[in-house]
Structure 1
Amino acid sequence: MGFFKQGFNEKIVYAVAIVVALGIVFIYSEQKETSVPSMAEQSVPAATTVAEKSEIAALEKDTEDKISQSLASIQGVGKAKVLVTYSSGIKRVYAYDKSVITKTSKQTDKDGGISEVEEITETSQLVIAGNSAPVVIAEQRPEVAGVLIIAQGAGDSKIREQISLAVRTLLNIESGKVSVVPMADE
């Protein structure tokens, strides 16, 4: 205890020890802290990405087939090959179960003053169907990035314009996203 005889107060030493201990606790608690990401922050599993890519590929193929069949019906157009690309995937709006809880409490202090405290708690939870998949309430087709049409008869400018107009009308896209070229002789 000779250390304390040199003018240090025992209470100060205890206070410093407590501050150091609290500092260590805070340092370790920050390192161990893990946050659970919200639904918007969670990464998409690889299986979902693969499924989405195959879904987009199927949508592209279906659109290409329908356009090819439609173009074959236009007078002056023979065989046609169609390539469609999309700029993004299918956009889905998911169902959420939202609840709002409001708690109001009134407190009277000793001087007769009244204070009112209102606490609002909002929660939102993704609705899951029986097959463990989220419930989709709306789907929006992806935006068309571009369309390439290689067609017999497209060497004629009138036929080429008819093809372009038909595709723009079918897909509701601007002319800059449609390219029509004549098919090479086979």
Structure 2
Amino acid sequence: MDWIKKISSEKMLVGLVSLIAIGMSFIYLGKGTGESAQSIQTKSAVTAPAGSTTKIGLLEKELESKLQTNILMMEGVGKVQVSVNFLTGIKHEYVRNNNVTKRTNKESDKTGGTRETTEITEDNQVVIPSGSTQPVIAMEDRPEIGGVLVIAEGARDPKVREAIHTAVQTLLNIPSARITVVPMGGTYD
């Protein structure tokens, strides 16, 4: 009877080692075994520094133009020049494929003891469509506004200056301290 147990234990050990080797090869090849869960995750990345002449520069010019158009429509403003400065670059969050593989092994030794091991493997890759070099973007955030300077003819009048200041603050949802409104010609009343 002992020889049967010995042969069974040896076959079981060889089978277990073979199973582990096959499982590791599946994990290495990215197929995984056992419980597998896939989910979408995102990761932030800043793509362009503030003040560059790429997308940031274009966004600054676009925002300046929109602000200037709105301010020009206000009563008593006159000529207007608007400058906008961004503190940060454009932020992208990329789609990520999160693959988690969990495998549990139970081993028995000759004396009847058992040991259980659990191996968890995580793979977190950015999703890039086939035929493309660009990752899939989940979300794109505009850069944070550092400051706005408005130079207007009508800003000599405190009521007009305050109205411009309030309009910029409302449109951009930024703190009052980041907005400066001065009269054209540079003098305050």
> Does residue 1:173 correspond to 2:177, yes or no?
no
Cα gap change, 1:170 to 1:75, in 2 (>3 Å) = same
For normalisation by structure 1, the TM-score amounts to 0.70
Cα gap change, 1:82 to 1:58, in 2 (>3 Å) = same
Offset of 1:152 from its aligned partner?
1.1
2 CA distance for matches of 1:138 and 1:147?
26
Structure number with the higher strand fraction is 2
Q: Which residue of 1 aligns with 2:185?
A: 184
Q: Which residue of 2 aligns with 1:148?
A: 149
Offset of 1:96 from its aligned partner?
1.1
2 CA distance for matches of 1:53 and 1:125?
30
> Does residue 1:86 correspond to 2:81, yes or no?
no
Q: Which residue of 2 aligns with 1:134?
A: 135
Q: Which runs of 4+ in 1 moved over 4 A?
A: none
Q: Which segments of 5 or more consecutive residues in structure 1 lack a partner in the other structure? A: 1-39
**3-state secondary structure, aligned to 1:154:** helix
Q: Tell me which amino acid in the other structure corresponds to 1:111.
A: T
- Sequence identity, in percent? 45
Which one scores higher on RCO, CA 8 angstroms, separation ≥ 6? Answer: 2
Q: Which residue of 2 aligns with 1:70?
A: 70
**3-state secondary structure, aligned to 1:76:** coil
**3-state secondary structure, aligned to 1:56:** helix
RMSD (Å), alpha carbons:
2.0
After superposition, the C-alpha distances for 1:110-135 in whole angstroms (9 at most, x for unaligned) are 22111110000000111113331111
1 CA distance for matches of 2:77 and 2:87?
28
Q: Which segments of 5 or more consecutive residues in structure 2 lack a partner in the other structure? A: 1-42
Matches within 5 A, 1:1-186: 53-129=53-129, 130-184=131-185
Q: Tell me which amino acid in the other structure corresponds to 1:93.
A: E
